């Protein structure tokens, strides 16, 4: 007869120790804490996906100043939402944020549901984010499982397989459910986040201050550098793109990118051939005839100058941008449906542009009106 091992992940002392530590040493004054307002909590959780607290703080304050309520966000044009998000990265989050706000207004009369299963059905809210929102806004017992939690679990319990592997992740979820406390879910949930962010960090964890040190397998076996097991590395693909900074009379030509894909829904510079796979970081000069054809749709070229290559690293490839500054001798009218717009140089800083494109254009413009006239 085959013997099946039975998992026994329950351990009330784990949650008790974590809650006790969080109440004394955890974070308590972040702008989205000490509230039951689901809108404030939801916004912070979406912004904090794959982004550190230090980077989120400024965006969070500015976003709320522009969209103080869920209904304000739902009623706003998506272009305004993207502009406020510009520079924070992972722009699908911003599009889903807008869609989610509209869904909550339409389906729940502007009030987020407290059931994590219903929350997880909304755009941009997965299982872990739904649990965090439910725990902080209504005290619901639900397990989170973000990167910080995976790291804490892998070290404390000595999990020596890659957390992104399906079998390992499913076991981690079962452990997370079994460890939930009967009371104090808010402090417990925040404690997991705080431990991963401030003590059990990816590099140089502060084991000497960690409440889990006596039970931590990684500490006992000197494997904190080895756990969690890292995903096997793959070479980062290289891609090239030729972009046109077409300027005329104090304005720059921008095009609306498709709603999905890289920089989806943002304004950006026109490109010759998209993002093309390459072997290295050396971008070949653009073909003169191709440049003339591309620019010819918008006007008569007066001059063209190749600028320094700009490199931007996405999660799945590295993009080397070869920008060309093109000045026009004569501008042609554009059809309304062309997907292009002329933007005043003074509005670049507030436009919904990808971070590397905004940086490039701001460097072109400079800080002074004289520089604008000179460069544009």
Catalytic residues: 45
Strand partners, 319: 239, 312
3-state secondary structure of 153: helix
Token pair, residue 9, equals 């992940």
* CA angle 21–24–25, rounded 5-degree value: 75
Token pair, residue 246, equals 């077409």
Which residues, in sequence order, are CB contacts of 108 under 8 Å at separation 6+? Answer: none
Question: How far apart, in whole angstroms, are the C-alpha atoms of residue 355 and residue 363?
Answer: 12
3-state secondary structure of 279: coil
212 exposure class (CB count in 10 Å sphere: 0-12, 13-18, 19+): buried
Token pair, residue 99, equals 């869609």
- For residue 218, report the phi and psi dihedrals to the nearest 5 degrees: -65, -40
Where b means 16+ CB within 10 Å and e means fewer, 34-52 reads eeeebbbbbbbbbbbbeee
Question: How far apart, in whole angstroms, are the C-alpha atoms of residue 372 and residue 76?
Answer: 31
Q: Tell me the CB-side half-sphere exposure of residue 214, using CA atoms within 13 A.
A: 5
Token pair, residue 303, equals 């001059």
Cα end-to-end span (Å), the chain: 81
Contact between 132 and 189 under an 8 Å Cβ cutoff? The reply is: yes
Question: How far apart, in whole angstroms, are the C-alpha atoms of residue 258 and residue 265?
Answer: 6
3-state secondary structure of 335: coil
Question: How far apart, in whole angstroms, are the C-alpha atoms of residue 32 and residue 38?
Answer: 10
CA dihedral over 87, 90, 95, 99, signed as positive or negative: negative
């Amino acid at each position: 007869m085959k013997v099946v091992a039975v998992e026994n992940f329950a351990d009330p002392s784990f949650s008790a120790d974590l809650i006790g530590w969080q109440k004394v040493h955890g974070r308590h004054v972040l702008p989205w804490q000490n509230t039951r307002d689901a809108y404030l909590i939801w916004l912070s959780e979406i912004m904090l996906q794959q982004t550190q607290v230090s980077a989120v703080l400024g965006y969070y304050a500015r976003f709320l100043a522009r969209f103080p309520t869920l209904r304000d966000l739902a009623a706003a044009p998506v272009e305004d939402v993207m502009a406020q998000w510009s520079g924070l990265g992972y722009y699908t989050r911003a599009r889903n944020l807008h869609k989610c706000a509209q869904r909550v207004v339409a389906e729940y009369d502007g009030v987020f549901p407290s059931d994590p299963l219903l929350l997880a059905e909304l755009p941009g809210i997965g299982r872990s984010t739904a649990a965090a929102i439910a725990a902080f806004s209504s005290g619901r017992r639900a397990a989170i499982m973000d990167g910080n939690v995976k790291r804490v679990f892998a070290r404390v319990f000595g999990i020596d397989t890659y957390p992104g592997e399906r079998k390992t992740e499913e076991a981690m979820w079962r452990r997370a459910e079994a460890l939930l406390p009967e009371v104090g879910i808010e402090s417990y949930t925040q404690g997991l986040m705080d431990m991963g962010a401030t003590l059990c960090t990816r590099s140089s964890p502060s084991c000497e201050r960690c409440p889990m040190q006596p039970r931590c397998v990684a500490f006992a076996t000197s494997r904190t550098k080895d756990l969690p097991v890292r995903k096997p590395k793959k070479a980062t693909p290289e891609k090239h793109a030729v972009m046109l900074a077409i300027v005329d009379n104090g304005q720059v030509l921008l095009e609306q990118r498709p709603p999905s894909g890289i920089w989806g829904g943002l304004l950006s510079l026109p490109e010759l051939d998209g993002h093309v796979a390459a072997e290295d970081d050396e971008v070949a000069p653009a073909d003169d005839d191709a440049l003339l054809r591309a620019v010819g749709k918008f006007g008569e070229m007066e001059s063209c100058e190749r600028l320094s290559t700009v490199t931007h690293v996405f999660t799945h490839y590295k993009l080397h941008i070869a920008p060309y500054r093109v000045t026009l001798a004569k501008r042609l009218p554009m059809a309304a449906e062309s997907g292009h717009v002329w933007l005043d140089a003074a509005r670049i800083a507030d436009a919904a542009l990808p971070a590397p494109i905004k940086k490039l254009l701001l460097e072109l413009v400079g800080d002074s009106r004289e520089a604008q006239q000179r460069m544009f």
